[in-house]
Amino acid sequence: MTERIVKRGMKQLSPIDVYTLLPKTNCKECGEENCIAFATKVVNREVSVDQCPPLLTKKYEKNYMQLKEMLKPAVKEVTVGADDNAVKIGGKLIMYRHEFTYFNPTAIAIDVTDEMSDEELADRVKKTEEFTYTYIGNDLRLQMVAIRSTSSDPDKFKAAVKKVAEKSKLPIILCSSDSAVMESGLMAIPEARPLIYTATKDNWKEMAELALMYKCPLAVSAPNDLNLLRSLVKTLKEYGIEDLVLDPGTFPSEGLADTVNNFTMLRRAACSMDDELVGYPLIGTPIVAWTESASSPTVSAWKEAQVASMLITRFADILILHGTDGWALLPLTVLRQNIYTDPRKPVAVEAGLRTVGSPDENSPVLMTSNFALTYYTVEQDVESADKSAYILVVDSEGTAIDSGVAGRKLTAETVADAIKESKLEEKVKHRKLIIPGKAARISGEIQELSNWEVLVGPRDSSGIPKFLRDKWK
């Protein structure tokens, strides 16, 4: 345990490093052809070393420990919640997403208080639980409920925690700086492994005892004081707390520069300087925006979203929000999806002819570009039209329709060539091509070069179902 191998980043760690420590028997028990294939998957984080049965035997105990240490992420992975509904946070290997990919998307928690009416509490929990937006095949959701004690009354807090736990299975964050209130909340859900928010310079001992007693992860707060934060971490670690979450404070207005710098410094110290004492998930509290004076709730919600979006980009692993407006949560959850998308995946899809359903010789043909996001959006929209169709994916060098046309990557020539190569003329009886509205400017040229009749479709592919209903009889 003493020799720490600092080889966590993907750049340094090679499959050979892992292979050397494997049993090297090519037993195939893991499901791979051989140990080197398994090692490659381990390095790419596609499988865990725990999936190698022989490695888990006494004989390889030392190798196993060494591999675990070697593969340990720069930011510890912490689990909030219990059983199937638990959410993992942290587990980051790298600072910049292009160095590998980010794991465990920022968990978003919505707050309730112990002084809310039953209806309001139930309504907010329901909104949190039911929030869903389908975005290129993924359901975007919210992950947690944060319960705040505004009453400072242990009994009220306990009752509120009970109510939330009865209504929802989402993991819980318990928010109070009073350890008596916290204990009361924990007693309501002793097995649920909520995140205890939060230990400070004044209450760390009591909060640490609670975290040990209830086996919960513990947040540590030291607003804008990284010396204090790191000192608290060292102290709590020695106290026996393994799962910590760091809160350097979120300042939505005055002090925003501190917030962005503190999150950045903590993550860099963990990833680049190997500072294990700050190698924990980070929690941001854009909800603070609601404590600042504002002319209307809309202004507070806007400000909250502004800070939250910056912290999604700058390393936050959990965010606590108050606003439940869809107009604010939608851009935030989409941004999170973007930032946590694996950057190793290609921007472009393969050009060529695709089918939706089982098209025949009378089915419509819709043209689009090979920019991955354009293609997937179009595919989804054509599917929702409930009509079999062909999608002709033209090689636009991975650009979207408008920029492809403007930049002359998507031209009448490329479209005419694509029609020819796809052998569409053997597949359909008609000669009608539906092109995106954003490519309307080249419709005449396409018609001339391909001898196909061009129908200009909607500017946005969400209009495809209606277009097909109205225009494709």
Partner 1 sequence: MPKRAEKNSDLKLPPELLDLLAGNEEVELEDVEMIIDELQFLFQPGVMPAVQRMVPSLKGKPKSLLDAPFTLPVQKYPAQIVEVTLGATKSEGGSRGRSITVGGEKSPAFYTFENPIPNPPIVSFDVFDSKVPLPKAVKTNFKDVLDDPAAWAKFCVDKYGADMITLHLVSIDPLNDKPSTPAEAAKTVEEILQAVDVPLIVGGCGDPEKDLAVFEKVTAAAAGERLLISTVTLDMDIEKSAKLIKEHGHVALAFSPMDLNQARELNRRLFEFLPKEQIIMDTTTAALGYGLDYAYTIMERARLAGLMGDPELQQPMSSGTTNAWAAREAWQKMDPQWNPRELRGPLWETVTALTLLLAGVDVFMMMHPAAVKTLRSTISKLTAKRGKGDPEKVANWMAAKF
Considering only residues 127 to 156 of the shown chain, the ones binding partner 1 according to CB under 8 A are 133, 135, 148-150, 152
Q: Which is nearer to partner 1, 17 or 292 (CB)?
A: 292
Site for partner 1 in 355-374 (CB under 8 A): 371, 373-374
- Burial string for 397-407 (b: 16+ CB within 10 Å, else e) reads ebbbbbebbee
DSSP state of 371: B
CA-closest candidate to residue 78, choices 64, 66, 68, 92:
92
Instruction: Please answer whether residues 208 and 199 qualify as being in contact, where contact means their C-beta atoms are separated by less than 8 angstroms.
Output: yes
Residue list 182-201, contact with partner 1 (CB under 8 A): 197-198, 201
3 is a site residue for partner 1 (CB under 8 A): no
Residue closer to partner 1 (CB basis): 420 or 441: 441
Of 97, 162, 387, 431, the one binding partner 1 by CB under 8 A:
97
CA 334-339-342 angle, to 5 degrees, is 115
Least distance from C-beta 447 to partner 1, angstroms? 14
Peptide bond into 411 cis (omega under 30): no
Check if the beta carbon of residue 277 is closer than 8 Å to that of residue 228.
Answer: no
Please identify, among the stretches 156-164, 356-364, 419-427, 455-463, the one whose residues bind partner 1 according to the rule CB under 8 A: 455-463
Q: Of 36 and 260, which has the nearer Cβ to partner 1? A: 260
**What character string, x for contact with partner 1 (CB under 8 A) and - otherwise, covers 216-245?**
------xxxxxx-xxxxxxx--xxx-----
Asked if 160 and 75 count as a contact pair (C-beta separation under 8 A), the reply is no
Q: Binding to partner 1 (CB under 8 A): which residues in 330-349?
A: 330-332, 334-335, 337-339, 341, 343, 347
Closest contact distance (angstroms) between CB of 140 and partner 1 is 10
Residue carrying structure tokens 């600072």: 95
For 266, phi then psi, to 5°, come to -60, -45
Among 23, 255, 352, 357, binds partner 1 (CB under 8 A): 255
Subset of 267-296 contacting partner 1 (CB under 8 A): 268-269, 272-273, 275, 277-278, 285, 287-288, 290-291
- Single out the residue of 129, 153, 397, 421 in contact with partner 1 (rule: CB under 8 A): 397
Q: Roughly how many angstroms between the first and final C-alpha of the chain, as a whole number?
A: 72
What are the Cα distances from residue 252, in Å, to 144, 202, 281? Answer: 22, 24, 20
* Binder of partner 1 out of 175, 282, 365, 419 (CB under 8 A): 175
